Amino acid sequence: MPYRPDRRLISVEEARAILSVHGEPVTRVERLALDAVDQRVLARHLVAAHDVPRFARAMMDGYAVRATDTAGATGEQPARLRLVETIYSGHAPAAHVVAGMCAGIATGAPMPAGADAVVMIEHTARTDDGVSVFQAVASRQNVGRAGSDLVAGEIAVAEGTVLSPARLGVVAALGLDQVDVYQRPRVAILSTGDEIVAPGGSLGPAQIFDSNTAALSAAVRLHGGEPVVAPRVGDDRKALAPAFEQCLDEDLVLFSGGTSVGERDFLLEIIAAAGTVHFEGLRLKPGKPTVFATVAGRPVFGMPGNPVSCLTNAYLLVAPLLRRLAHLPAATERTVLARLARDVESPAGRHQIYPVRVDGAAAVPVFKGSGEITSLAHADGYFEIPADVESVNAGTVVEVTLF
């Protein structure tokens, strides 16, 4: 007899609360080259081994001077200084700037000893034997100090930080070409069903192509996971059991299909026998037959086979848990307000996720059905209809969460 639970349905909020206490962030670390760690999460503090920059440097092209030598300088009464050398970027100064002297200097070049300010080239003129300075500068003016960016010993990038472009710039500024990052959580994806054929294959008369594996894999990558796709399995208890076992090697398991209460929906039965089922259905449309369990310490989702239900719940429920395993912060939701273009109905007692296309100020409903993946593909986002609301009229301003 297949397992036929008297399904207790819970709300999305209850489901989220349950999910928030299951699954541990991945502790495995890998060392990767700088060009391979975009958006990865740093696994150890990066401490500055030296000041950045190591030397005080000119912030302008001009002349390195002793500020006191320029006191009172104006266009009419310039300070006249003798030029001892010119310092280019990447070259160490040789001379010491003493009273009445200056050195030509390029932006980024090290300040010579004795000089404490830089006069912009625009405020000077070359003379036969030196330089006329037309404006006084204060001590330290136009000079960047050593350690202005980072001081030796300081935490430059903290453990747990996502390596954004700017943070990768910091890593590089420290001279590192490799960093330790957390491994991405490995996410087993197993699509089940006699009717499912991998894209590229040929369809029998009663078959459809598997859209869930591709959509789930992409959603997993988007939220910091590494999809590990298992070979598809038919609705056959004997074949499902070992395939299920295999998936438990990974950090998170996503099954699709077979979670309904049909004659051949064996997944819930197999999951229930192997571990603890935390919920087995949601008061949600689409996405009702969604199962969550822990088996051998692994979080396991039984996702609905219907592609819209499957992907919606990947966003709503899987992504937050996956991001936690990946040490990533919660995704930032982007929302827009738009006016509903048509009346929509929603079943009583079920929270609905309603896909819409945003067309200027209008939210155009595009939901065809839970089985039609174009319901999502043609949408820019969705708005939510609470369980106790059965219709929303055209013209209502709705908050659309963008994909």
What is the binding site for ligand AMP (CB under 6 A)? 191, 193, 195-196, 208, 210-212, 256-260, 262, 265, 304-307, 371
Residue type, 386: P
Largest distance between two CA atoms of the chain: 103
Distance of alpha carbon 242 from alpha carbon 259, whole angstroms: 17
Per CB under 5 A, does 257 bind Mg ion? yes
Among positions 267-306, residues that touch Mg ion (CB under 5 A) are 305
> Between residues 78 and 302, which has the closer beta carbon with respect to ligand AMP?
302
> Between residues 275 and 371, which has the closer beta carbon with respect to ligand AMP?
371
Distance of closest approach, residue 346 Cβ to ligand AMP, in angstroms: 21
Residue 100 interacts, among ligand AMP, Mg ion, none and using kind-specific CB cut-offs from 5 to 8 Å, with: none
Residue 307 interacts, among ligand AMP, Mg ion, none and using kind-specific CB cut-offs from 5 to 8 Å, with: ligand AMP
Only segment of 83-91, 198-206, 251-259, 346-354 that touches Mg ion (CB under 5 A):
251-259
Residues in the chain: 403
Residue 212 interacts, among ligand AMP, Mg ion, none and using kind-specific CB cut-offs from 5 to 8 Å, with: ligand AMP
> Between residues 255 and 382, which has the closer beta carbon with respect to Mg ion?
255
Report the residue number whose CB is nearest to ligand AMP: 305
Distance of closest approach, residue 165 Cβ to ligand AMP, in angstroms: 36
Residues 6+ apart with CB under 8 A from 98: 66, 114
- Residue 126 β-bridge partners: 131
Strands 252-256 and 298-303: parallel
b/e burial code for range 283-317 (CB count within 10 A of at least 16 → b):
bbbbbbbbbbbbbeebbbbbbbbbbbbbbbbbbbb
User: Are the C-beta atoms of residues 327 and 25 closer than 8 Å to each other?
Assistant: yes
Distance of closest approach, residue 258 Cβ to Mg ion, in angstroms: 5
Residue type, 82: R
> Between residues 136 and 300, which has the closer beta carbon with respect to ligand AMP?
300
Per DSSP, 187 falls in state E
Distance of closest approach, residue 6 Cβ to ligand AMP, in angstroms: 18
Distance of alpha carbon 176 from alpha carbon 342, whole angstroms: 56
Give the three-state DSSP class for 274: helix
Q: Which two tokens stand for residue 330?
A: 């919660």
Distance of closest approach, residue 175 Cβ to Mg ion, in angstroms: 55
Distance of closest approach, residue 307 Cβ to ligand AMP, in angstroms: 5
Residue 286 interacts, among ligand AMP, Mg ion, none and using kind-specific CB cut-offs from 5 to 8 Å, with: none
- Which residues make up the interface to Mg ion (CB under 5 A)? 193, 257-258, 305
